[in-house]
Amino acid sequence: MQLLFIADPLASFNTKKDTTFAMMREAQRRGYAIYACQPQHLQWQAGGQVEALVQHIRITDAAPGSTDWFEVLQTQTRTVASFTASLMRKDPPFDSEFFYATHLLSQAEREGAKVFNNPAALREHPEKLAVMEFPQFLGPTLVTRQASAIRAFHAQHQDIILKPLDGMGGMGIFRVKSDGLNLGSIIETLNQNGGTSVMVQKFLPEISAGDKRILIIGGQPVPFCLARIPQGNEVRGNLAAGGKGVAQPLSASNQAMAEAVGAQLAPRGLLLIGLDVIGECITEINVTSPTCFQEIQQQTGCDVAALFIDALEYACKV
């Protein structure tokens, strides 16, 4: 197999915890050829096929965290359809350029490429909005551009979380308690006078036990999740915001929830899904570049990367 990873710059990877690196390492262990590029290296000339300027790389034996974890064997331009599979692993934000890249990859699919996650599915399932399809698993949630609606939601629920729709790693998340302190300023910052949509959710006190990342591969939940537990006075459990990651077995209820979501979303071309769950409520559905493979494996021995490459192999055969 020849695998193309469309991702952030390789030099930016923290190989101690990067999930795309874990995928690459497992693929190379199986003897597959690894190629990489960034979304800006995709191009489509009229009358031709979608191409990419790619680097054929080999993962070295460098210690985890080293910057020389890969070597470039060759740089060349190839059609996306010439690879066995392409994996779109660009981190958010879900901006216009990400959107355009998915259109180019959809064209590559029409030319015979296999792309995971499916580009059309990526467009149709923005991280925050995707949860709205599953109201049975949600706490009180509102998406709006109206400041008055946000104030009414706060008046009803008293303790709320506000976040931008295009954030990642806990970026731009605010908590407003019953006193409403700074609510007006936070609305102005996130909403930009009605120009930007905001997600508002009732604060879930179960966050003290962790914001659980539940991975779904090929429609099936991974048996362990990573509970990202806020530290100190921080309300966010995100690892990027200083949360502590603690791997734990899935509860029966979280297992059932993940199975229901997987059964509905996997057939749409979402090979890898990352649910964010607080208590018994889904807060986000991550499909662009879900993470936490290495943290789960390091703490439990469950080889999530191997499960993923197994699923990728199967998806390439059907």
**Closest to 47 (Cα-Cα) out of 96, 97, 111:** 111
Catalytic-residue membership of 114: no
Catalytic-residue membership of 8: no
The single residue of 18, 109, 211, 276 carrying the catalytic annotation is 276
The single residue of 236, 238, 254, 295 carrying the catalytic annotation is 236
Q: Are 151 and 137 in contact (CB under 8 A)?
A: no
The single residue of 128, 202, 238, 254 carrying the catalytic annotation is 128
Q: What is the distance between the alpha carbons of residues 81 and 83, in angstroms, rounded to a whole number?
A: 5
The single residue of 114, 163, 202, 212 carrying the catalytic annotation is 163
The single residue of 127, 191, 286, 295 carrying the catalytic annotation is 286
| Centroid of chain to Cα 61 | 27
Catalytic-residue membership of 228: yes
The single residue of 213, 238, 254, 295 carrying the catalytic annotation is 213
| Centroid of chain to Cα 316 | 21
The single residue of 127, 211, 284, 295 carrying the catalytic annotation is 284
The single residue of 228, 238, 254, 295 carrying the catalytic annotation is 228
Catalytic-residue membership of 213: yes
**Closest to 207 (Cα-Cα) out of 239, 168, 236, 169:** 236
Identify the H or E element spanning 292: none
Q: Which residues contact residue 184 at a Cβ distance below 8 angstroms, ignoring those fewer than 6 apart?
A: none
Which residue reads 């030319």 in tokens? 111
SS3 223: coil
| Position 27, amino acid | A
Residues comprising the chain, all counted: 318
Kindly list the catalytic residues. Answer: 128, 163, 213, 228, 236, 276, 284, 286
